[in-house]
């Protein structure tokens, strides 16, 4: 800690000394734009609501005895990771690369505690660095929350909290630096507009690894383990869809043509995937379901995330179409065949959808939409696709190996898996001492009108 402070202090001094010179040297100083800043701040708030929304999305799909712990897994992360991000996460992910802790992988720790970020303009944009920080904070928050769907209904809270903190520090922050912060994959030319690699593949693969390590829920495949409140799931999906406009269109970091283009692509893919998932299950099982529609829109949103700022509207529709089909078969067929218990399909939707989206970016990206991007295979350049595939492999390796190591460490400190009695009673009452749905006799529900209660025979 002492060393960190000295690093922080010395760099802070350095900043004070060099800043005026830097400004003097620049011919055209970057200017703040109020419209851009407003849009990014609003987008940050939109992305924020996705994490509690995810809690509802997941919460409706578990059994009633585990709904609170499932929502808590998302909600508590908002607190835990926001603080982590302000203290350490931001500087690890977006600190200077050349002077980084591990150049190419972890940025420099200059900006620990957000030191030196006030009054700065974020490079290449017209928004304050603080707006960028809080926007990125919401991304750092939702990513570990996505993982919780994989191990729902069977983990202890203490192990969960410890794992998520370590995961954010040792897996998310380096990956964010590698892709967005000027690190290795950034140099390779991989495109990830709003986080297909960093967020969805990483969390999906980490979720898959964890659910295999932790094991299946007791009674999985024998007892009917059914969603207890689908309207809650649909409400959560609606909040996710709503927030995703900030996630994708906000990633333009300005109120401009690119933001509008990403907004359109987002809606196009989500809408098409809603239809394609429902049609798949309709054909296979004979009924269109609301759970299918809610799952389909999320699959489409996941897939368009890396591509949103690089593809035209019609390719976005195709990306959504395929996302709905691929993710449906991943959760309905592949999961059943392989027999792992990814409770709420964190891998099936985010891992598979994110992989498809990263590949699709390599196919349909075009500089006509975003001059800062690149042309994909269908626009005559195969290099991007290669870069995308290498990035996907890195994300799979980092997600699975990193999660494996962190799981072993956490499990050695405190047991990850809930014991049998806990699982049978439900995690809510044992871990949190609360129940979601009161029972009338116990909580004094009205027992009827006065005359019914006191009537004499």
Partner 1 sequence: MSKMTKIEIITRANKLEELKSALNSIGVEGMTVSQVYGCGLQKGHKEVYRGREYSINLVPKIKLETVVCDVPVEQILSVSQKVLCTDQVGDGKIFVYTIDNAMRIRTGTQGTKAITDDEA
Q: What angle do CA 230, 234, 239 make, to 5 degrees?
A: 145
* Shortest reach from residue 450's CB to partner 1, in Å: 18
Question: Exposed/middle/buried for 393, CB within 10 Å: 0-12, 13-18, 19+?
Answer: exposed
Instruction: Determine the Cα–Cα distance for residues 159 and 155; give it in Å rounded to an integer.
Output: 8
* Shortest reach from residue 320's CB to partner 1, in Å: 18
> Residue 283: how many CB atoms within 10 A of its CB?
9
Instruction: Look up tokens 């985010």; give the residue.
Output: 350
Give the tokens for residue 453.
Answer: 């209660």
* Shortest reach from residue 224's CB to partner 1, in Å: 4
* Shortest reach from residue 291's CB to partner 1, in Å: 6
Q: For residues 20 and 224, which CB has a smaller minimum distance to partner 1 in the complex?
A: 224
> Residue 213: how many CB atoms within 10 A of its CB?
15
Half-sphere exposure of 43 (CA within 13 A, CB side): 32
* Shortest reach from residue 345's CB to partner 1, in Å: 7
Q: For residues 10 and 284, which CB has a smaller minimum distance to partner 1 in the complex?
A: 284
Q: For residues 177 and 229, which CB has a smaller minimum distance to partner 1 in the complex?
A: 229
* Shortest reach from residue 32's CB to partner 1, in Å: 46
Residues near partner 1 (CB under 8 A) are: 224, 226-227, 281, 284-285, 287, 289, 291-292, 295, 328, 331-333, 336, 345, 457
* Shortest reach from residue 150's CB to partner 1, in Å: 14
Per-residue 3-state assignment (H helix, E strand, C coil) for 32-99: CCHHHHHHHHHHHHHHHHHHHHHHHHHHCCCCHHHHHHHHHHHHHHHHHHHHHHHHHHHHHHHCCCCC
- Taking alpha carbons only, the member of 396, 429, 408 closest to residue 196 is 396
Instruction: Determine the Cα–Cα distance for residues 153 and 236; give it in Å rounded to an integer.
Output: 18
* Shortest reach from residue 349's CB to partner 1, in Å: 10
Q: For residues 124 and 224, which CB has a smaller minimum distance to partner 1 in the complex?
A: 224
Q: For residues 61 and 168, which CB has a smaller minimum distance to partner 1 in the complex?
A: 61
Cα dihedral sign, 342-343-345-347:
negative
Write the CA distances from 1 to 6, 294, 405, 412, integer angstroms.
9, 46, 24, 25
Q: For residues 22 and 333, which CB has a smaller minimum distance to partner 1 in the complex?
A: 333
β-sheet bridge partners, residue 102:
106
Q: For residues 336 and 409, which CB has a smaller minimum distance to partner 1 in the complex?
A: 336
Q: For residues 445 and 457, which CB has a smaller minimum distance to partner 1 in the complex?
A: 457
């Amino acid at each position: 800690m002492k060393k960190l402070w000295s690093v922080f202090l010395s760099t802070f001094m350095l900043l004070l000394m060099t800043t005026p010179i830097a400004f003097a040297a620049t011919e055209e100083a970057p200017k703040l734009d109020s419209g851009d800043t407003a849009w990014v701040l609003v987008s940050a708030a939109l992305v924020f609501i996705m994490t509690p929304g995810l809690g509802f999305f997941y919460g409706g799909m578990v059994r009633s005895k585990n709904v609170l712990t499932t929502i808590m897994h998302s909600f508590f992360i908002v607190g835990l990771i926001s603080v982590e991000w302000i203290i350490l996460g931001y500087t690890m992910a977006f600190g200077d690369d050349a002077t980084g802790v591990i150049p190419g992988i972890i940025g420099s720790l200059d900006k620990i505690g957000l030191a030196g970020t006030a009054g700065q303009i974020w490079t290449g944009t017209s928004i304050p660095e603080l707006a960028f920080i809080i926007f990125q904070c919401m991304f750092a928050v939702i990513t570990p929350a996505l993982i919780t769907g994989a191990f729902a209904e069977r983990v202890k809270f203490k192990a969960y909290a410890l794992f998520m903190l370590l995961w954010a520090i040792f897996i998310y922050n380096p990956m964010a630096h590698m892709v967005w912060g000027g690190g290795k994959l950034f140099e390779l030319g991989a495109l990830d507009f709003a986080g297909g690699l960093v967020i969805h593949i990483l969390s999906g693969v980490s979720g898959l690894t964890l659910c295999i390590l932790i094991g299946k829920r007791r009674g999985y495949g024998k007892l009917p383990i059914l969603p207890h409140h689908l309207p809650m799931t649909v409400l959560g999906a609606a909040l996710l869809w709503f927030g995703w406009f900030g996630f994708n269109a906000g990633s333009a970091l300005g109120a401009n043509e690119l933001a509008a283009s990403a907004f359109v692509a987002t809606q196009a893919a989500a809408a098409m995937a809603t239809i394609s998932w429902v049609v798949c299950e309709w054909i296979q099982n004979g009924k269109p379901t609301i759970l299918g529609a809610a799952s389909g829109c999320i699959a489409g949103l996941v897939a368009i995330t890396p591509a949103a700022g690089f593809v035209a509207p019609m390719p976005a529709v195709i990306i959504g179409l395929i996302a709905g089909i691929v993710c449906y078969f991943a959760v309905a067929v592949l999961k059943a065949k392989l027999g792992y218990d990814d409770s709420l399909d964190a891998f099936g939707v985010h891992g598979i959808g994110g992989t498809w989206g990263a590949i699709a970016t390599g196919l349909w990206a075009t500089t006509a939409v975003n001059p800062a991007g690149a042309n994909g295979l269908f626009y005559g350049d195969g290099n991007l696709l290669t870069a995308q595939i290498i990035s996907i492999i890195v994300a799979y390796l980092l997600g699975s190996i990193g999660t494996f190591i962190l799981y072993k460490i956490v499990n050695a400190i405190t047991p990850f898996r809930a014991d049998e009695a806990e699982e049978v009673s439900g995690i809510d009452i044992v871990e949190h001492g609360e129940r979601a749905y009161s029972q009338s006799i116990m909580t004094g529900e009205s027992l009827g009108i006065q005359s019914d209660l006191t009537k004499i025979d």
